[in-house]
């Protein structure tokens, strides 16, 4: 890498960006002008209102009996005037009186007989002035109440402590900085994520998609600068501007809140146990976390923006990312969340947690290191993607043709495979079908719901899409027999081995991320069907056969077909596997299902046929049915080292079972590979095109 060139790019990009009004407004205008103005104006308005209410006399009318006594009680209260009213209820409703006080009892008589006088206060809780009047009345009456109680106790010769057997005293031991820390830990990280994203937004969009739109990219590409140098230079620029915006924003907020705090304390006095001002350590902490956060957000935003052809298009792509990163920021701020070995590695969420724990003085150096490291890893990954995208000429030179926006089937050309856009679009639409339609059907009736979801919401739309875009069914769904008959036993052996290994993965996961028991209870009702033989067949049809056909058509058919042009085979295996895992909409099932998805994708790509994958899918799901209905042969339970009744915590599988599983898997792979042609990336050959 030539650092002089990288430096030249950074220098130019910063100069260019700083001369852009949009960036300047975001970077400097918002923090330096808008916040203080808004906050100070808001504060002034609040103070004005507060002073007005505080100084205002409350007007109270007395109703009912013994008005003189009530008047006597109310008279010592400052800022309260007792007024007379002809129509007290109406005056209260119309705001001429702030509150009404009265009793229907003879006060002296009731008090004399040792009874309790019922005093009614009527008010309007939508009016601040009315609420103020009530609290003034109540605090005055509280004093009278205590005097009267003491009088009675003296008469009976009883100590006051006698009627207060428990004297509860609460003391908050949290030092003010901890209270501040926990409250700031809730708000500040979210604000930080937001301001950094805001700071990265315009530069990221402008120096990638903006440069493409302005037609200067080609000149840049014709210089000796490498793609890596271009990405590095641009990335460092986005990062620096994002962090600068973040720091400017935070500094402005800190200054404004300090000012607000001083203003507030002169009016309302110091609030106990909470210090509005940012503790000085907070600044060090902010610097520590702002760097990984800036790196990650800048890298991701750039990778997204470079895919767009114009500034406007890039804005549309990047905006959803804004909302997505806010979610982990909000979750991390919630009370009860803390850094764990797992959460240290969840991007953004981990930075927010680290911030919170540093503010409360709980996090150590190892936490800082782990969060820093994992965030850096994600940032590097995002940058790698950016570099990869910069290497793609269809991305950089904007020559991608996109999908023809026509709904007239006649105008569509015949094609062999789906395009990546079609595959992604299909997945997203079916995901929505599943969430909104599938869940509702399954809640109504689980068994019928699964059938409707699988056939009606997955299989049929997939087939319809392939028909509509005139793709080749045989090619898209890999509807040919495997290249070699050895692929059948190979796939089966791999499947068997993998299923056992996946069970073990599930057991490990259960130890770290125990699934809620509600999940099992829902499924239990369904599995109860399997008690008799005909029920068992029905269950196998619903849980084993149906998904094996429908899900395979979607995932190993349409999605694999769509990604063929985009990704190398291993990339398809990973992406389709992950998408398959995500489709099961459960964090507890993500890992095992994604692994199964990857395996099935591998089988299809290796053998060029969907049928072995369907078979393995059927076997896997049937095994789940047999396990759940406790119908597995006893020796298999013994072999695996688990008991049929799996209500308790399941122990790890027997080592020998795991060993045999690995053996099965490896021999399956060998059989699959034997005599296997090198898998083609799937760029359709001339022959394919003709057959289409």
Partner 1 sequence: MLRTENLRREYQIAGEAPLVAVRGASFSVADGEVLGLLGPNGAGKTTLLRILATIIPPTSGQCWIGDRNISDNPDHIRRHIGFLSGNTKLYGRLTGAEVLRYFGRLYDMSETSIEQRIIKLTQLLDMGDIIHRRCETLSTGQTQKVNLARVILHDPEVLILDEPTLGLDIITSQSVIEFIIHARERGHSIIFSTHYMDEAERLCDRIALIFKGAIMAIGTKKELFELTGADNVQDVFLSLVNEYKESDA
Minimum distance, C-beta of residue 299 to partner 1, in the bound complex (Å): 23
**Comparison of 356 and 564: residue with beta carbon closer to partner 1:** 564
**Comparison of 99 and 395: residue with beta carbon closer to partner 1:** 395
Please classify residue 151 by burial: count the beta carbons closer than 10 Å to its beta carbon, then call 0-12 exposed, 13-18 middle and 19+ buried.
exposed
Which residue is it, tokens 């708000």?
Answer: 187
Residue 66's region, left for phi above 0, alpha for psi from -120 to 50, else beta, is: left
Counted residue by residue, the chain has a size of: 692
Nearest one of 463, 419, 452, 481 to 554, comparing CA atoms: 463
Q: What is the DSSP letter of 105?
A: S
211 is written with which tokens? 């440069």
Is position 448 an interface residue for partner 1 (rule: CB under 8 A)? Answer: no
Is position 376 an interface residue for partner 1 (rule: CB under 8 A)? Answer: no
DSSP string, 202-244: HHHHIIIIIHHHHT-HHHHHTSS--HHHHHHHHHHHHHHHHHH
**Comparison of 226 and 244: residue with beta carbon closer to partner 1:** 226
**Comparison of 482 and 569: residue with beta carbon closer to partner 1:** 569
Q: How far apart are CA 71 and CA 63, in angstroms?
A: 10
Coil/strand/helix, residue 101:
strand
Q: How far apart are CA 569 and CA 556, in angstroms?
A: 12
**Comparison of 49 and 216: residue with beta carbon closer to partner 1:** 216
**Comparison of 415 and 606: residue with beta carbon closer to partner 1:** 415
User: Which x/- pattern, by CB under 8 A, does the window 522-561 give for partner 1?
Assistant: ----------------------------------------
Pick out residues in 413-442 that bind partner 1 (CB under 8 A). 413, 415-420
Is position 471 an interface residue for partner 1 (rule: CB under 8 A)? Answer: yes
Q: How far apart are CA 579 and CA 591, in angstroms?
A: 11
Choose one: 77-85, 131-139, 182-190, 220-228; the region binding partner 1 (CB under 8 A): 220-228
**Comparison of 211 and 551: residue with beta carbon closer to partner 1:** 211
Out of 81, 223, 258, 638, name the contact with partner 1 by CB under 8 A: 223
Minimum distance, C-beta of residue 386 to partner 1, in the bound complex (Å): 18
Pick out residues in 9-48 that bind partner 1 (CB under 8 A). 9, 12, 15-16, 19-20
For residues 32 and 248, the answer to whether their CB atoms sit within 8 Å is yes
Minimum distance, C-beta of residue 239 to partner 1, in the bound complex (Å): 20
**Comparison of 19 and 164: residue with beta carbon closer to partner 1:** 19
Nearest one of 210, 176, 190 to 281, comparing CA atoms: 176
**Comparison of 399 and 648: residue with beta carbon closer to partner 1:** 399
Choose one: 148-156, 441-449, 537-545, 682-690; the region binding partner 1 (CB under 8 A): 682-690
Is position 316 an interface residue for partner 1 (rule: CB under 8 A)? Answer: no
Choose one: 97-105, 213-221, 447-455, 530-538; the region binding partner 1 (CB under 8 A): 213-221
Out of 4, 155, 677, 678, name the contact with partner 1 by CB under 8 A: 4
Coil/strand/helix, residue 648:
coil
Give the containing element (helix H, strand E) for 109.
helix 107-112
Is position 8 an interface residue for partner 1 (rule: CB under 8 A)? Answer: yes
556 is written with which tokens? 């190993």
Minimum distance, C-beta of residue 341 to partner 1, in the bound complex (Å): 43
Is position 62 an interface residue for partner 1 (rule: CB under 8 A)? Answer: no
Pick out residues in 382-411 that bind partner 1 (CB under 8 A). 393, 397, 399, 401
**Comparison of 82 and 692: residue with beta carbon closer to partner 1:** 692
Q: How far apart are CA 572 and CA 608, in angstroms?
A: 14
How is the beta sheet containing 99-103 ordered, strand by strand? 80-83, 58-64, 99-103, 120-123
120 is written with which tokens? 């009614």
Distances (CA, A) of 228 to 5, 9, 209, 460: 11, 12, 17, 45
532 is written with which tokens? 């008799």
Minimum distance, C-beta of residue 568 to partner 1, in the bound complex (Å): 14
Q: 99 has which bridge partners?
A: 60, 123
Is position 215 an interface residue for partner 1 (rule: CB under 8 A)? Answer: yes
Is position 220 an interface residue for partner 1 (rule: CB under 8 A)? Answer: yes
Q: How far apart are CA 347 and CA 248, in angstroms?
A: 24
Choose one: 218-226, 267-275, 284-292, 313-321; the region binding partner 1 (CB under 8 A): 218-226
Q: What is the DSSP letter of 97?
A: S
Is position 216 an interface residue for partner 1 (rule: CB under 8 A)? Answer: yes
Q: How far apart are CA 478 and CA 560, in angstroms?
A: 9
Is position 617 an interface residue for partner 1 (rule: CB under 8 A)? Answer: no
**Comparison of 412 and 632: residue with beta carbon closer to partner 1:** 412
Minimum distance, C-beta of residue 682 to partner 1, in the bound complex (Å): 11
245 is written with which tokens? 């915006």
Pick out residues in 577-596 that bind partner 1 (CB under 8 A). none
**Comparison of 241 and 500: residue with beta carbon closer to partner 1:** 241
Is position 292 an interface residue for partner 1 (rule: CB under 8 A)? Answer: no
Between β-strands 99-103 and 120-123, what pairing exists: parallel, antiparallel or unpaired? antiparallel
**Comparison of 220 and 432: residue with beta carbon closer to partner 1:** 220
**Comparison of 15 and 380: residue with beta carbon closer to partner 1:** 15
Q: 376 has which bridge partners?
A: none
Minimum distance, C-beta of residue 578 to partner 1, in the bound complex (Å): 22
Minimum distance, C-beta of residue 521 to partner 1, in the bound complex (Å): 46
Q: How far apart are CA 358 and CA 290, in angstroms?
A: 13
Minimum distance, C-beta of residue 19 to partner 1, in the bound complex (Å): 4
For residues 601 and 557, the answer to whether their CB atoms sit within 8 Å is no
110 is written with which tokens? 């009731």
Show the 3-state SS of 543-586: HHHHHHHHHHHHHHHHHHHHHCCCCCHHHHHHHHHHHHHHCCCC
Out of 67, 226, 244, 509, name the contact with partner 1 by CB under 8 A: 226
List interacting residues with partner 1 (CB under 8 A): 2, 4-5, 8-9, 12, 15-16, 19-20, 214-216, 218-226, 393, 397, 399, 401, 413, 415-420, 471, 565, 683-684, 686, 689, 692
């Amino acid at each position: 890498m030539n650092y002089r060139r990288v430096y030249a790019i950074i220098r130019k990009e910063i100069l260019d960006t700083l001369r852009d009004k949009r960036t300047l407004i975001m970077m400097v205008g918002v923090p330096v002008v808008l916040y203080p103005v808004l906050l100070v104006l808001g504060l002034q308005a609040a103070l004005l209102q507060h002073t007005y209410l505080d100084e205002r006399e409350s007007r109270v009318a007395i109703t009912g009996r013994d008005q003189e006594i009530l008047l006597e009680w109310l008279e010592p209260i400052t800022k309260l005037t007792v007024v007379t009213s002809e129509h007290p209820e109406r005056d209260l409703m119309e705001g001429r009186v702030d509150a009404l006080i009265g009793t229907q009892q003879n006060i002296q008589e009731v008090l004399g007989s040792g009874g309790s006088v019922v005093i009614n206060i009527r008010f309007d809780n939508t009016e601040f002035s009315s609420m103020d009047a009530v609290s003034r009345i109540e605090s005055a009456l509280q004093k009278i109440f205590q005097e009267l109680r003491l009088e009675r106790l003296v008469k009976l010769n009883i100590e006051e402590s006698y009627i207060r057997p428990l004297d509860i005293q609460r003391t908050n031991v949290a030092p003010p900085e901890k209270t501040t820390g926990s409250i700031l830990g809730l708000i500040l990280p979210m604000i930080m994520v937001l301001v950094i994203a805001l700071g990265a937004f315009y530069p990221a969009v402008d120096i990638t998609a903006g440069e493409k739109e302005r037609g200067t990219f080609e000149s840049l590409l014709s210089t000796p600068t490498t793609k890596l140098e271009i990405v590095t230079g641009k990335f460092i620029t986005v990062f620096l501007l994002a962090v600068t915006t973040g720091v400017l924003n935070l500094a402005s907020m800190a200054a404004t809140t300090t000012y607000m705090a001083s203003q507030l304390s002169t009016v309302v006095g110091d609030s106990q146990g909470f210090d509005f001002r940012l503790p000085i350590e907070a600044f060090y902490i902010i610097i520590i976390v702002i760097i990984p956060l800036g790196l990650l957000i800048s890298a991701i935003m750039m990778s997204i923006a470079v895919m767009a052809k114009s500034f406007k298009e890039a804005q549309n792509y990047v905006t959803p990312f804004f909302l997505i990163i806010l979610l982990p920021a909000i979750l991390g701020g919630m009370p009860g969340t803390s850094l764990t070995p797992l959460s240290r590695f969840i991007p953004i969420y981990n930075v927010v947690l680290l911030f919170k724990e540093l503010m409360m003085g709980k996090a150590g150096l190892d936490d800082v290191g782990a969060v820093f490291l994992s965030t850096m890893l994600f940032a590097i990954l995002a940058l790698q993607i950016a570099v990869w995208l910069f290497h793609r000429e269809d991305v950089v030179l904007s020559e991608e043709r996109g999908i023809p926006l026509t709904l007239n089937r006649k105008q569509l050309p015949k094609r062999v495979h789906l395009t990546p856009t079609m595959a992604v679009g299909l997945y997203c639409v079916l995901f929505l079908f599943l969430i909104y339609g599938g869940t509702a059907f399954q809640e109504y009736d689980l068994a019928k719901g699964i059938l409707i979801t699988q056939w009606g919401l997955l299989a049929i739309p997939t087939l319809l899409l392939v028909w509509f875009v005139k793709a080749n069914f045989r090619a898209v769904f890999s509807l040919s027999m495997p290249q070699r008959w050895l692929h059948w036993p190979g796939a089966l052996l791999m499947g068997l081995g993998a299923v056992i290994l996946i069970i073990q993965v599930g057991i490990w996961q259960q130890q770290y991320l125990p699934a809620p028991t509600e999940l099992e209870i829902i499924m239990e009702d369904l599995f109860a069907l399997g008690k008799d033989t005909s029920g068992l067949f029905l269950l196998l049809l619903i849980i084993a056969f149906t998904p094996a056909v429908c899900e395979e058509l979607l995932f190993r058919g349409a999605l694999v077909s769509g990604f063929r042009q985009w990704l190398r085979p291993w990339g398809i295996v990973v992406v389709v596997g992950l998408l398959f895992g995500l489709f099961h909409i459960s964090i507890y099932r993500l890992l095992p299902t994604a692994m199964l998805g990857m395996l099935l994708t591998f089988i299809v790509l290796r053998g060029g046929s969907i049928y072995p994958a369907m078979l393995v899918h059927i076997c896997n799901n049937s095994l789940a049915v047999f396990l759940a209905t406790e119908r597995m042969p006893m020796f298999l339970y013994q072999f695996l080292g688990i008991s049929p009744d799996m209500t308790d915590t399941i122990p790890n599988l027997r080592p020998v079972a795991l060993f045999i599983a690995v053996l099965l898997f490896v021999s399956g792979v060998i059989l699959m590979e034997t005599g296997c042609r090198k898998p083609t990336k799937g760029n359709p050959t001339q022959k394919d095109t003709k057959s289409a």
